[in-house]
Every structure is written in structure tokens, then in C-alpha cells.
Structure 1
Amino acid sequence: MTDQLALLKSRGLLVDNDTAALNYLARIGYYRLSGYWYPLRVIDTETSLQQNQPVRFDHFMPESHFEDVVKLYVFDKKLRLLALDALERIEMALRVDVAHLLGEKDPCAHMKPKCLHGNFAKKAITKGSNKGKTEHQVWLEKYETMLNRSRREPFIAHHRAKYNGCLPVWVAIEVWDFGLLSRLFEGMQFADKNRIAAKYGLTDGEQLAKWLKSLNFVRNVSAHHSRLWNINVLELSACPTNWPKMNHSRPYMYFAVMAQLLAVICPNSSWTQRLIALIDEFPNSRNGMLTLQDFGVVEGAVEWLNQFQK
């Protein structure tokens, strides 16, 4: 750890308290913290232009402090916990929405192609390892894997015996993860998706389906304790036209999505207030290189969140 700290100092990172810095390196790790001091490193302009992406030197910009790196790490940890809090509530609510709607069609509607959209349940995949299967068949394989992991649960054994191996959808939801939920929602019939979307102030179920895929990406990042605050979101959703123009490849827009959904699911929650308070805690670095713009915040977008508070 001493050698690591000496290396950082030699590259220009200012350390105000050696004892504290060594403690953080021991508890969090050099590699994990490196993702948080990366924005403080000097940009190699020439190579960046050649490769059309930011490339940085090993040395740091003036006034780069180890303390600011730690504050950013703590901010990111709080951000992940806030995301997981919201996403748990959203997942539980959407599970119930899907179970109620599909259950009206058939207790085992999630297993039956006729209850789902044809592109999902009948159209064969044309390439890749799942070529020849339908998306529904792939979904059922993943569902069966999760079911087997929970086979010792008394409620699973009871319902599998009672329903000849098919758990009714209102029981099956208990073994789904967010990814399985979002994929089945995407495969539902248009009218069914629209009906659920309307509950959350959306006219288009396809928009909600994309939101759920994006939120599943954020959930996976958060659940695996990965850096979230400035990550490039890979499952993109379009920014709604009636929202402030936001960068949909950055996380902030998806926190706004969570705020809108939570305003319906638990309107008395303080979650949005806690998000706004956390944003106020963002540790702008002393050299100005750590900014909320990398999180995806644009002018007026934080104040705009107040509409989702009761």
C-alpha cells in the first residue's frame, strides 16, 4: 500500500492525510479506486483525437486530491444504494401488474404462447446460439433455471404438485429477477403493455418496455457494486419529448425514470427528495474536473424532479 501511495504522489495526486489514504487503499483497493481518480488524469489530446475517444496519461491534473476521489467513491456508493431502493419497489409493483393482467387470461399465461405477442412466442430467432428457438422458449429456459434454484421452497413444491408442474403466474413471479420480468413484459401483447403503461402515465407500452430494460442495466451495475455515477448506459431509452433534454447514455435520466414510476407506486415516499439531496452532496473537485454533467445532469433537470414529489 505504501508503494501504491508513493506512486500516486509521484504522478501528482495530492494526499492530505497519508494514514487515511493508506487505510482507504487497504479497504477499497487500488484498482477499484482507480475508476474514481481516472477523470482527474491529464487527457492525451493527440491520441484521443486519433482514437476518437478519451485517452489519458498516468499523471494527474493540478489540484487533484486523493480526498476528492474518496468523496466521489462515497457519493457513488450512496447513489447505488438509492437506485437499488427504488428498483426493488418498481420490480415488486411491476411483478404484480403483470401477474394480475396475465392471470386474467390464464393462470399459466406466462407459459402459453397464445397469451403473448407473436414476435415473442412464435417467431424463430434467426442467428446466434439460440437460432431456431423463439424468444419465449429462451425465456422459459431461464425461468426453469430460476425455478430449479428455488425448488426446495415449500410454496414452489406445493404449487408444482397442485398445477401439474405449472406455477400460476401470481406464484411464478416470486422467482423472477428484474431481467426476466422486463423480458416477459417486452413479449406481452401490445394492448396488455399499453394497459400497464397507462397506470404510470405513459401512452405507449413499448416505452415502458424500454425503460425496464434500461433500469435492469442500472440494477445490475448497482447490485454488482460497480461504478455507476458516470457509466455509459448500454440499454438505452429515448428521452421523453416532454422532459428536459437529457443525455440518455448517462445514468441521471434513468433516475428521473425511477422518480416518475415511484410517484405512482409509492407517492408518499421521500425517495426523490433523497435523490435531490444526494445530488447536492456531489463532490465537485477542487480543479473542477469532476462535474455532474458526467452523471447526465443538465440545467434545470434537478429542479424539474420536484414535480414527482407530493
Structure 2
Amino acid sequence: MVVDAGTALPYLTQVGGYRMKGYWYQWIDPQSRRFQQGTSFDKVIERYEFDRELRRITGDALERIELMVRASISNTMSKHEGPHWFMKDSLFKTSPSSVERSAKVKQRPRKRTLYELVIEEVSRMRHKPFIAHYLKQYNEPAFPPSWAISECLSFGAWSTVYPTLSNVEYRKEISRQFKVEDTEVFASWLHAFSVMRNTVFHHGRLLGAQTSVTPRDYHKRHLQFKGTQARAFFATATVINYVCNSIRRGPRWKSDLEALFSRYPTIPYDSALGFPEGWPNVLGWRTL
């Protein structure tokens, strides 16, 4: 590898050699374990900087989606069940009992209920002004209303809450705000968004990475992801775009991606991210 010390040292010392290695492995010959002829550290830097900018615009888009998901679930449930709906056990699906489970299947640790999460997060955030004010002013109910609670819970929590709502009509009312009729599809999208958000905000690599959670196909809109494409960034990026298009004054996700790609024309978007040739015109990206 051709390395200019003046350029490389800041990245090796401030970012770390191990992290940078994730951006140069594709230039290593699998047989000789040596770098291919013509490899330079400048190319590695280019891939690193592209990935950093991709995380930034992905985080911006997911932030907008997260806020709308919070508001949508909170507002819909509050409208039908009151501002303290999260305290009603009857609104949530119950897990199968141990008798109903096969004895051959090892039971996983029980997931915390929404109410348990609320208790934990309110306790942790009790010094926040909006929580402290409520606890000082009111004795009953014991917890603030849903619109305040929504500020305490993570995207991961909300993505878990949605599929556990027992009333399918409530789930449909929420998903339809994002132009999705199938509640199971929407639940899988929320899960994929939550995992992608964690990847982005924990500085995980997107370029060349495969996600462990894939968004379900939405056959009604002909959104289908086949083979390795299902685990590539493209699949989640496509459903992010679909949801962004359902939000009034939503993120400029597609145009942000196009602008980023144009600034880094040497990045292999097909093999490294799963984007096919002519992707701006495929379903999920063009106006439906």
C-alpha cells in the first residue's frame, strides 16, 4: 500500500488502525494476503469519509422517522385509550405460557413490558425538568402522560411496543400514517430502522456491511429484496425512502444520497451497498 505519512498518521492515531482496516480489506489478495498493486491509503481515507457522511445523512433521516413514530403511536393510543394507555395491561399481547411452548425449545429471558420500561426510564430521568415538574405537581397517576413518556423511551422501545399492541385496528391506524397497510411489514420496518439507528449512532460501518435484520417485502407496493440485496444497505435505505415520502416535509433522503454519491464517484455502490444500476428509478425510489 502506498502511504503518505502526513496524511495517514492523523487517521491512524485519531481514528485507529483497526477501524481503518475495515475500509481496506477489499484490496487484499485472498491468496497472498498482500495488497493489490496500486492500493493507496488515500483510497482508504476516501471510503472512510464516504461512510462517515453516509452515517450522518442516514442518522438525520432516521431521527425524523423516529420522532414521527413516537408521536403516531402516542397520539393514536391516547386518542382511543387515554393519555395513560401504557399502564393498561389489557392493551398488549401476552406471551405464550411455558406450558404452550415446546419443552424442546429453550426459553429466552422475558422481555420487559412497556410499563416496566416506563418505570425504569422515568426513574432514570426523574431530574429532567418535564419529569420533575409532573412528579412535583401530581400524585396520580403515578407517571406522566404518554406524550411526555414518549420523550423517555428509545426508538428500540417504540419498535418493540408497536407489534405488541393487541388491537390490530390501532396498529393499522398507526401504519397507515406511513402508507403501509400490512402491520407485520411495518413492524419489521421499525425493527430494521431501530437496528440501523443503533449502527449509525454507535459509528458502525455501513459500507460493505450486512445487516442482521432485514425489512420485510411489501408486496402491495412491489417492494421486494432478493438474495444478498436483502441484507445490504439498499434494502433498509429503500424502506427509509418509502417512509420519508409519506411524511409531510420529510427528509430529503433520496436527493441527499444522490448528492453524496456524486461526490464520491469511485465508490462501488452496487457491490458495497447493494444499489442496482439505475436505482433512482426503481420501485420504492420513484414517486408511486
In 1, Cα distance between equivalents of 2:179 and 2:130 = 35
Superposed counterparts of 1:181-196, under 5 Å: 181-188=158-165, 189-196=167-174
| 1:128 aligned residue | 108
Tell me the residue number matched to 1:111.
87
1:141 corresponds to which residue?
Answer: 116
Aligned to 1:50: none
Maintained 8 Å contact 1:113/1:122: no
Contact 2:61 2:240 in 1 (8 A): yes
The correspondence of residues 223-302 of structure 1 with structure 2, limited to 5 A, is 223-241=201-219, 242-243=222-223, 245=225, 247-267=229-249, 269-282=251-264, 284=266, 290-302=268-280
1:88 aligns with 2:28: no
Q: In structure 1, what is the Cα distance between the partners aligned to 2:271 and 2:14?
A: 29
Deviation for aligned residue 1:85: 0.3
**CA offset digits 1:27-69 (Å, max 9, x no partner):** 211111001111211124xxxxxxxxxxxx6421222221111
Aligned AA (1:129) = P
Q: Distance in 1 between matches of 2:10 and 2:30?
A: 28
> In structure 2, what is the Cα distance between the partners aligned to 1:228 and 1:306?
20
TM-score (norm 1): 0.80
Unaligned runs of 5+ in 2: 102-106
What is the identity percentage for the equivalent residue pairs of Structure 1 and Structure 2? 25
| Preserved CA contact (<8 Å) 1:109 1:169 | yes
Q: Given residue 83 of structure 2, which amino acid in structure 1 is its aligned partner?
A: P
Structure 1 partner of 2:39: 64
Q: Structure 2 length as normaliser, TM-score?
A: 0.85
Quote the residue 1:150 is aligned against.
125
Call closer, same or farther: CA 1:301–1:243 in 2, change over 3 Å. farther
**Alpha-carbon offset, residue 279 of structure 1:** 2.4
What are the superposed Cα offsets for residues 204-262 of structure 1, whole Å, 9 maximum, x if unpaired? 11111100100111100110111112221112222334136451201122112111111
Residue in structure 2 matched with residue 303 of structure 1 by the alignment? 281
How far the C-alpha of 1:177 sits from its partner, in A, is 0.8
Tell me the secondary structure at the aligned position of residue 175 of structure 1. coil
Compute the displacement of 1:115 (Å): 1.8
Q: Mark the runs of 5 or more structure 1 residues left unpaired by the alignment.
A: 1-12, 45-56
* Contact 2:20/2:48 (8 A) holds in 1: yes
Displacement of 1:198 in angstroms is: 1.5
Aligned equivalents of 1:142 and 1:29: distance in 2? 36
TM superposition shift of 1:100:
1.0
Q: How many corresponding residue pairs?
A: 272
Superposition map of 1:39-78 within 5 A:
39-44=26-31, 58-78=33-53
Residue 48 of structure 1 corresponds to none
| Distance in 1, Cα, partners of 2:48 & 2:33 | 20
Deviations 1:117-145 (A, max 9, x none): x2xx3544761232xxxx4x444333332
Change in Cα spacing, 1:29 to 1:261, as seen in structure 2 (3 Å) is same
1:159-202 per-residue CA deviation (whole Å, 9 max, x = no partner) reads: 34343312221211010111011000121132211112122221
Matches within 5 A, 1:26-45: 26-44=13-31
Check the 8 A contact 2:86/2:114 in 1, yes or no: no
| RMSD over equivalenced CA pairs, Å | 2.3
Structure-2 change in CA distance of 1:85 and 1:124 (3 Å): farther
- What is the CA-CA distance between 1:75 and the residue it aligns to? 0.5
